[in-house]
């Protein structure tokens, strides 16, 4: 096994809890197959995760001369980014807080040894 090759998308405007559902689908799979699988997932986070996987594969090919067919997803995680604090006025002079959460999507690829 070699070192991991990373790609990161920071401050993606989707809640981490929702993005983790998509990341859990592709963890441990071949990178090319995972990217194809995400084309058919009906979630907003699937587009963002697929872009990060494709970016990690491009990093591996262009920067480290790896073969795309041997790459698989060793690490896939979604961390919490900053939170936008918004609110809404409700009855009797009260105020309900609305938290708009952001995510950091991290994908780490390694080359599978034959």
State the CATH number of the domain containing residue 83: 3.90.470.10
Per-residue confidence (pLDDT) for residue 114, from 0 to 100: 59
Domain residues for the domain of 26 are 5-111
- Each as own residue / partner, the long-range contacts of residues 11-15 (CB below 8 Å, 24 or more positions apart, any chain) are 11/81, 11/82, 11/102, 11/103, 11/104, 12/45, 12/48, 12/81, 12/102, 12/103, 12/104, 12/105, 13/100, 13/102, 14/44, 14/45, 14/48, 14/101, 14/102, 14/103, 15/101, 15/103
Bridge-based pairing of strands 95-111 and 5-12 is antiparallel
Q: Which residues of the chain have pLDDT under 50?
A: 1
pLDDT of residue 1: 45
pLDDT in the model for residue 2: 54
pLDDT in the model for residue 20: 97
Give the bridge partners for 96, in sequence order.
88
| pTM confidence score | 0.91
| Number of compact structural domains in the chain | 1
């Amino acid at each position: 096994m070699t070192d991991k090759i990373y790609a990161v998308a920071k401050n993606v405007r989707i809640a981490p809890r929702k993005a983790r559902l998509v990341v859990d689908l592709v963890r441990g799979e071949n990178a090319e197959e995972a990217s194809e699988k995400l084309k058919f997932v009906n979630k907003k986070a699937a587009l963002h995760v697929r872009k990060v996987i494709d970016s990690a594969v491009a990093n591996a090919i262009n920067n480290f001369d790896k073969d795309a067919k041997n790459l698989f997803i060793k690490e896939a995680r979604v961390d919490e980014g900053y939170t936008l604090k918004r609110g809404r006025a409700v009855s009797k002079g009260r105020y309900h807080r609305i938290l708009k959460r952001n995510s950091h999507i991290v994908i780490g690829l390694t080359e599978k040894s034959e």
